[in-house]
Chain A
């Protein structure tokens, strides 16, 4: 047995920031963000009070909170229709987008579909909502369908491009080792494409939320926060409108932070293990 115990290669230096330093810089960033938010809230309270001619549509923070408290029960009652529509549409958009993206990304014959979906992405799909609500009625079903349609496209496009960008060599070498088409998918293509796919999920998530709120604002009978916003606007209840907008912002913030955390995690794992090119010479 001639084993070689002397290793001549040397490990490549890792240039990533050490863990505690990264944590500290993230905490500083969070501090700044909170400061900016606090400043905005103070301005919101003070500017309307200081204005010489008070307007019905510019009300201070405290008045908005009071209006929210007055309208507590309709607002709480409309949380679930909105939230459930978002969650169901997210599942549809993600599942269909990922599966279709993988199928289209891996089959050269279906590639032309990417052009079509790419073009659709540029179209303001809101125009089809009136049609959908006429066919299916203005309730949860049409909301979910429309939001899924809206969210599925970026998921599909990014998934397909993620799959297509997987190194040809990885594919080939896995095949030479006897990977079945299924193993190739689960053990090579999916993990390799994962970071890109997750960034698509975040984009799709944002669009789903927008689409659900827009549907609700357009159809006065569809229920949900969006419908309430329209209703309060018609009633000139500016404080309640602002309060509902705050609720929507909170939705968006929670969702984006969650998806962002997942994305960072996946991307972090990938960065930790990314193949660097051998340096010649």
Chain B
């Protein structure tokens, strides 16, 4: 395993590209505050693939939205590339949600290029980069299709392409393949790794599928519910690149079972 290298052009106060400390969050509802996270510290180094697993309701999505700057935590600090975060940072952090969240009245190409349009890049450049990204996710021939004309897996690829067009240092993904069937999910995981090999940024990937977490990640953060908290960080020291057959090795199964026991013991 390689030791994470500091990026000389972008000096960091520490080696984490993204880091949150002492995060506490409660949702305010009509029936009073609902505690979602308690004293959570999470960080990810450059070019690391980190997954977050845990039972539903343990605050994974909340944590991801806090990392994305989409909700402000009740307490705690957030840093991206060493700088304190107060809101969304489209030039550094991109998000892909479980629901692809595509704009239904825009074609695949216009959806992928949307972040560049918000940035007011020139049209020709938006189109060129949009097509390039669509090609990268295997949808070169689908630029003019509308979201409803695409399958669930294709919509998710469009969402990933749209996130990558931001050239993010950190890519946050909230159960991006959660709504897909098992076969498509495996294919998408494989392709994600291939893409990531090229881009090699930091990924934080929320999932409830433990095999998926082991297959993709350098480390897995295990969370527990009530209150939402981190219980363990498990290092996944499987070699890369990872062919799909790796999921049948003893080491893989051992890691997966370890995660499973960790989650079971919290219930």
Whether the Cβ atoms of B151 and A176 lie closer than 8 Å is no
Closest B-chain residue to A169, C-beta based? B101
B76 at the interface (CB under 8 A from A): no
Q: Which A residues have a C-beta under 8 Å from some C-beta of B? A: 1-12, 14, 167, 169-170, 172-180, 183, 187-188, 191-192, 269-270, 272-281
Whether the Cβ atoms of A8 and B187 lie closer than 8 Å is yes
B44 at the interface (CB under 8 A from A): no
8 closest cross-chain pairs (CB), A and B: A278-B152, A178-B90, A9-B151, A4-B138, A9-B154, A9-B153, A173-B101, A177-B115
Whether the Cβ atoms of B150 and A11 lie closer than 8 Å is yes
Apart from A8-B153, A8-B187, what 13 extra A-B contacts exist at CB < 8 Å?
A: A3-B138, A9-B184, A10-B151, A172-B65, A172-B101, A173-B101, A187-B118, A275-B102, A275-B148, A277-B179, A278-B99, A278-B180, A281-B181
Which residues on the A side are within 8 Å of B91 (C-beta)?
A: 178
B166 at the interface (CB under 8 A from A): yes
A270 CB contact (under 8 Å) in B88, B95, B105, B191: B105
A2 CB contact (under 8 Å) in B142, B155, B187, B194: B194
Check A1/B198 contact, CB under 8 A, given A9-B150, A12-B151, A278-B180: yes
B194 CB contact (under 8 Å) in A4, A8, A167, A280: A4
CA distance A188 to B118 in the complex (A): 11
Check A3/B150 contact, CB under 8 A, given A273-B104, A278-B179: no
Which residues on the A side are within 8 Å of B179 (C-beta)?
A: 277-278, 280
Query: Which chain B residues (94-133) contact chain A, with CB distance < 8 Å?
Result: 94-95, 97, 99-106, 114-115, 117-119
Counting chain B residues whose Cβ lies within 8 A of the other chain, the interface size class is 35 or more
A274 CB contact (under 8 Å) in B94, B104, B166: B104
- 6 pairs, CB–CB < 8 Å, chain A vs chain B: A3-B135, A8-B153, A10-B151, A176-B95, A187-B114, A278-B99
B70 at the interface (CB under 8 A from A): yes
Which residues on the B side are within 8 Å of A192 (C-beta)?
A: 103-105
Check A176/B103 contact, CB under 8 A, given A4-B194, A9-B152: no
B14 at the interface (CB under 8 A from A): no
Which residues on the B side are within 8 Å of A278 (C-beta)?
A: 99-100, 151-153, 155-156, 179-180
Residue of A170, A177, A179 with most chain B CB atoms under a 10 A cut-off: A177
Which residues on the A side are within 8 Å of B154 (C-beta)?
A: 7, 9, 11
Check A178/B148 contact, CB under 8 A, given A8-B184, A170-B101, A274-B104: no
A175 CB contact (under 8 Å) in B70, B145, B148: B70
Instruction: For the complex formed, measure the closest distance between the CB of A67 and the CB atoms of chain B, giving whole angstroms.
Output: 51
Which residues on the B side are within 8 Å of A280 (C-beta)?
A: 152, 179-181
Which residues on the B side are within 8 Å of A178 (C-beta)?
A: 88, 90-91, 115, 118-119
B137 at the interface (CB under 8 A from A): yes
Whether the Cβ atoms of B166 and A177 lie closer than 8 Å is yes
CA distance A11 to B191 in the complex (A): 19
How many residue pairs, one in A and one in B, have C-beta atoms under 8 Å apart? 132
B147 at the interface (CB under 8 A from A): yes
Per DSSP, chain A at the interface is: loop
Which residues on the B side are within 8 Å of A179 (C-beta)?
A: 118
Instruction: For the complex formed, measure the closest distance between the CB of A277 and the CB atoms of chain B, giving whole angstroms.
Output: 8
CA distance A139 to B45 in the complex (A): 74
Which residues on the B side are within 8 Å of A4 (C-beta)?
A: 136-138, 191, 194
Which residues on the B side are within 8 Å of A188 (C-beta)?
A: 103
Which residues on the A side are within 8 Å of B246 (C-beta)?
A: none
Whether the Cβ atoms of B140 and A273 lie closer than 8 Å is no
CA distance A67 to B52 in the complex (A): 81
B40 at the interface (CB under 8 A from A): no
Whether the Cβ atoms of B105 and A273 lie closer than 8 Å is yes
Whether the Cβ atoms of B100 and A2 lie closer than 8 Å is no
B68 at the interface (CB under 8 A from A): yes
Which residues on the B side are within 8 Å of A167 (C-beta)?
A: 99, 101
Instruction: For the complex formed, measure the closest distance between the CB of B107 and the CB atoms of chain A, giving whole angstroms.
Output: 9
Which residues on the B side are within 8 Å of A14 (C-beta)?
A: 149
Which residues on the A side are within 8 Å of B230 (C-beta)?
A: none
Which residues on the B side are within 8 Å of A191 (C-beta)?
A: 103, 105
Instruction: For the complex formed, measure the closest distance between the CB of A272 and the CB atoms of chain B, giving whole angstroms.
Output: 7
CA distance A188 to B90 in the complex (A): 17
Whether the Cβ atoms of B139 and A176 lie closer than 8 Å is no
Which residues on the B side are within 8 Å of A180 (C-beta)?
A: 118
B146 at the interface (CB under 8 A from A): yes
Closest A-chain residue to B153, C-beta based? A9
Which residues on the A side are within 8 Å of B148 (C-beta)?
A: 12, 272-276
Which residues on the A side are within 8 Å of B68 (C-beta)?
A: 176
Query: Which chain B residues (156-200) contact chain A, with CB distance < 8 Å?
Result: 156-157, 162, 166, 179-181, 184, 187, 191, 194-195, 197-198
Whether the Cβ atoms of B115 and A172 lie closer than 8 Å is no
CA distance A191 to B180 in the complex (A): 28
Which residues on the B side are within 8 Å of A275 (C-beta)?
A: 100, 102, 104, 147-148, 155
